[in-house]
Structure 1
Amino acid sequence: MTDTAPTVVVPGPDEFDDIAQLIADAFHHPIDPETHEAERAIFEPERALLVRDGPTAVAHAAAFTRTLSVPGATVPAAHVTMVAVATTHRRRGLLRTLMHRQLREIHDAGREPVAVLWASEGRIYPRFGYGLAAQRLTLDCPATTELRLPEPAPAAGTLRQAAPAAVQPELARLYDRLRVDRPGWSDRDERWWRYVLNDPSGERGGATARRALLHDGPNGLDGYALWRSRPEWQRTGPTGLVQVDEVVAAGPDAYLAIWRTLLSVDLTRRLTYFRAPVDDPLLRLVNEPRQLGPQLMDALWVRVVDVPAALAARRYATAVDVVVEVTDPLLPENTGRWRLTGGPQGATCARTDDPAELACDVRCLGELYLGGAGLTALAAAGRVRELRPGTLAATGPAFGWHRAPAPMEIF
């Protein structure tokens, strides 16, 4: 490849194999045939951008067309994915070229006011205006012997176990009912449920097939967990591992019953859960929360693509009327002063000539967007400037939400 600007093309469906090989090489992960076909089924070639050097795919970025739950609403969001540059073509500006073009295309299409992604490294995407919008907890804790949970309420419900694919319609109905109230969850159509429940044997790492643990309350299914176990033994006896992928519950009875089961699986002594929300009730239920081994990690990164459309699409915990001066070097249409007026029932956002009361870059808006970051915390870090005294205290509560954003799945 020469030093001239790279040629970026929209690939065809028949180029998926080359793209998958590029991704596998970049992430040091062998291609599993089952996973490969599952990913092919959700691939949207018309939303992909590809750079080749001769016949070889050397850089790629794509997006999925999905909606994202945000405070009080759901919005169309470009789910950015499959981003990679070949080892042989690093430091040539290929990632920058792809990210700039992708953002421009999303903005100009006018359908998705935000983009969202998971980052392989946290330092990569802030330079393109992505802000850390949702964090997660990873839990790695002893099971069976160390942790105790409260006793369940009498006749609170019943538990059953099934193969996930066999109960997918039930899981989907509960997920859809609860999704609207949980910022950070993405919609799942039939294709996405097949992908989420795909369980290739070559990627289990010695563990069992995934299982679904379901809780039925008085009105039917009100909670489920997706989990698997891995047998481990030592000289003194069993030390098996429970691996939890997903826990969804409509209320405390279902939640407690599911976790009492997961923490007491016979022949296991340890449990891991790598995508727990930061407000997970388990931290308040166990007798010794330190034993959960919680570690705070980054999860969802949000890029506000269309400032007025994005800020008007979500709801606000309290009444807000503020003028924010925004800078966005990649999408200059977002740069300027915007008056945001709204509350729990709705919001409007329009360009204004009124004096600004707060100033920030577009990355800060991404961090605030799901309600997980504090406005005053960003100001304390020098990321937001208060131009009119008292604005931070008056405006900060509005950007919060009654539930923390939750990172449900990696896409």
Structure 2
Amino acid sequence: MDESVRLRQATADDHDAIADLLSYVFHHDADEESRQLDLLTWEPERSLVAEEAGSIVGHTNALSRDLTVPGGVVPAAHVTGVGVAPTHRRRGLLRAMMHRQLGEVAEAGREPIAVLWASETTIYPRFGYGPSASVVGIQAMSREVRVRPDAPGAELRLRLVDPKAVRDDLAAIYQRVGASRVGWSSRPGKWWDYHLADLKDHRDGATRRHGVICDGPDGRPAGYALWRVKGKWDEYGPDAEVRVTHVAADDPAVYAALWRFLFGIDLARSLQYDFGAVDEPLALIVDEPRRLGRRYEEALWVRVVDLPGALEARRYLTPLDVVLEVTDPLLPANSGRWWVTGGPDKAGCVRTDEPADLSLSITDLGALYLGGTPLGGLLAAGRAVARTANIPYAAFGWHHLPNPIEVF
């Protein structure tokens, strides 16, 4: 890194300068309302800044949240706000910040993995992050697609709600459903205040956020949907777009009832949802799945920080008994051969001198970690190398593909 620049931990007084920097980097204006919102979840003690002559020219931050992984929930450093001033590119600042951040996460020993959303996907493999979970965006022709009549849930009752007024119900549903949804992040402390803030600047011309709760047969809240509507009329009449923020349900009937409602909103001709799972059940309960207009893109990237801790924290779809040979130039404690055992109910990981069954980098172990990248695909791409016939093709998968639902 350029010797004129120093790295240091941020302080609360740095927040405005960091917001100004990120406005340059991500091409948006940070008004006072959005700055105050960001302060709800910002952790200055986990924020690194690069400073030159009293000016902040680089930044990265980690947020303390948990992440649902196959068969469990683990603490994960949620990395965000990564950026370098356009005047200081190509001077080693990003590398220095990412290396220090990973070292600090490893040294603290609380979080076996770090996760992020990559604005540019060429950057983060250099630091050991692998593309571990994808999303399917939906741009549906809502007048030409309906939930099938034979799908369950038609008899269930729904009620319109003000999301802020039913925060506790939403949080309870989210916590229950999220405990088994790989890729969902916990929302501790003020995270629900953050998600329900609903700033006008974040609406892109759409309405305030609306909510609906579906009660189960026992009368208790069983699922919810959040959405906005961007109204529009053309020469043919109403042409509004329903913009779905989130759907949370773990019961098939509740899930179908919520989507039946969303596709039936009056005066709308289209529906947008950006955070569908790759195996989203919606395509299996509508009458015209092609009209969902699905698109696929990478979402959550995982960096294994504490290899044995990470591999013991998750569970495996099928019985597992394999020796992995892993290379990690940034965190050498992860390099070497590891004997990994486990299954749906247990897991173990210890060092070994036994010959390797499978060789791969820490980046590709991160890609494999949540079950969203198949091992067979890594092998076919030459990203992993089979050393024996004992290759656990299915074990790193899970019952459902990971489903990241928020950019943090």
**TM bracket (short chain):** over 0.9
What corresponds to 1:48 in structure 2?
47
Tell me if structure 1 keeps the 8 A contact 2:25–2:83: yes
3-state secondary structure, aligned to 2:165: helix
What corresponds to 1:111 in structure 2?
110
What corresponds to 2:74 in structure 1?
75
Say which of 398, 401, 404 aligns to 1:407: 404
- For residues 338 and 265 of structure 2, what CA distance do their matches in structure 1 show? 54
What corresponds to 1:139 in structure 2?
138
In structure 1, what residue type is equivalent to 2:148?
P
Tell me if structure 2 keeps the 8 A contact 1:35–1:198: no
- For residues 156 and 189 of structure 1, what CA distance do their matches in structure 2 show? 34
Q: TM-score, normalised by structure 1?
A: 0.97
- For residues 327 and 317 of structure 1, what CA distance do their matches in structure 2 show? 25
Say which of 393, 398, 407 aligns to 1:396: 393
Instruction: Measure how far apart 1:232 and its partner are.
Output: 0.5
In structure 1, what residue type is equivalent to 2:145?
L
In structure 2, what residue type is equivalent to 1:268?
A
- For residues 111 and 337 of structure 1, what CA distance do their matches in structure 2 show? 23
Instruction: Measure how far apart 1:378 and its partner are.
Output: 0.5
- For residues 57 and 370 of structure 1, what CA distance do their matches in structure 2 show? 35
In structure 2, what residue type is equivalent to 1:150?
R
Tell me if structure 1 keeps the 8 A contact 2:153–2:257: no
Q: Is 1:337 equivalent to 2:340 in the alignment? A: no
Instruction: Measure how far apart 1:168 and its partner are.
Output: 0.8
Tell me if structure 2 keeps the 8 A contact 1:113–1:305: yes
Matches within 5 A, 1:156-171: 156-171=155-170
- For residues 272 and 166 of structure 1, what CA distance do their matches in structure 2 show? 25
Alpha-carbon RMSD across the aligned residues, in angstroms, is 1.3
What corresponds to 2:260 in structure 1?
260
What corresponds to 1:198 in structure 2?
197
What corresponds to 1:148 in structure 2?
146
- For residues 99 and 376 of structure 1, what CA distance do their matches in structure 2 show? 30
3-state secondary structure, aligned to 2:340: strand
In structure 1, what residue type is equivalent to 2:227?
W
Tell me if structure 1 keeps the 8 A contact 2:300–2:404: yes
Q: Is 1:85 equivalent to 2:84 in the alignment? A: yes
- For residues 114 and 230 of structure 2, what CA distance do their matches in structure 1 show? 36
Tell me if structure 1 keeps the 8 A contact 2:318–2:395: yes
Tell me if structure 1 keeps the 8 A contact 2:2–2:93: no
Provide, for residues 152-183 of structure 1, a one-character-per-residue CA deviation record: whole Å limited to 9, x for no partner.
54773211111111111001111111111111
Instruction: Measure how far apart 1:201 and its partner are.
Output: 1.1
3-state secondary structure, aligned to 2:317: coil
Matches within 5 A, 1:175-186: 175-186=174-185
Instruction: Measure how far apart 1:360 and its partner are.
Output: 0.2
- For residues 354 and 99 of structure 2, what CA distance do their matches in structure 1 show? 30
3-state secondary structure, aligned to 2:105: helix
- For residues 4 and 363 of structure 1, what CA distance do their matches in structure 2 show? 29
- For residues 360 and 76 of structure 2, what CA distance do their matches in structure 1 show? 22
What corresponds to 2:246 in structure 1?
246
3-state secondary structure, aligned to 1:298: strand
- For residues 322 and 215 of structure 1, what CA distance do their matches in structure 2 show? 45
- For residues 153 and 171 of structure 2, what CA distance do their matches in structure 1 show? 28
Instruction: Measure how far apart 1:34 and its partner are.
Output: 2.3
What corresponds to 2:21 in structure 1?
22
What corresponds to 1:124 in structure 2?
123
What corresponds to 2:311 in structure 1?
311
3-state secondary structure, aligned to 1:407: coil
Aligned residues: 406
Tell me if structure 2 keeps the 8 A contact 1:156–1:217: no
Instruction: Measure how far apart 1:103 and its partner are.
Output: 0.5
Mind listing any 5+ residue stretches in structure 2 that lack a counterpart?
none
- For residues 365 and 12 of structure 1, what CA distance do their matches in structure 2 show? 34
- For residues 54 and 5 of structure 2, what CA distance do their matches in structure 1 show? 14
Which consecutive aligned stretches of 4+ in structure 1 deviate over 3 angstroms post-superposition?
152-156
Percent of paired sites with the same residue: 49
Tell me if structure 1 keeps the 8 A contact 2:340–2:350: yes
3-state secondary structure, aligned to 1:166: coil
- For residues 2 and 395 of structure 2, what CA distance do their matches in structure 1 show? 48
Distance 1:153 1:379, change over 3 A: closer
In structure 2, what residue type is equivalent to 1:92?
R
Tell me if structure 2 keeps the 8 A contact 1:72–1:180: no
Distance 1:291 1:154, change over 3 A: closer
Instruction: Measure how far apart 1:32 and its partner are.
Output: 3.1
Tell me if structure 2 keeps the 8 A contact 1:138–1:274: yes
3-state secondary structure, aligned to 1:49: strand
Instruction: Measure how far apart 1:403 and its partner are.
Output: 1.0
Q: Is 1:374 equivalent to 2:350 in the alignment? A: no
- For residues 227 and 34 of structure 1, what CA distance do their matches in structure 2 show? 22
3-state secondary structure, aligned to 1:397: coil
- For residues 353 and 286 of structure 2, what CA distance do their matches in structure 1 show? 53
Instruction: Measure how far apart 1:199 and its partner are.
Output: 0.5
Distance 1:101 1:153, change over 3 A: closer
- For residues 213 and 189 of structure 1, what CA distance do their matches in structure 2 show? 23
- For residues 226 and 33 of structure 1, what CA distance do their matches in structure 2 show? 26
Distance 1:223 1:327, change over 3 A: same
Provide, for residues 276-311 of structure 1, a one-character-per-residue CA deviation record: whole Å limited to 9, x for no partner.
111111111111211111111111000000111111
Distance 1:201 1:154, change over 3 A: closer
Instruction: Measure how far apart 1:3 and its partner are.
Output: 3.6
Instruction: Measure how far apart 1:14 and its partner are.
Output: 1.4
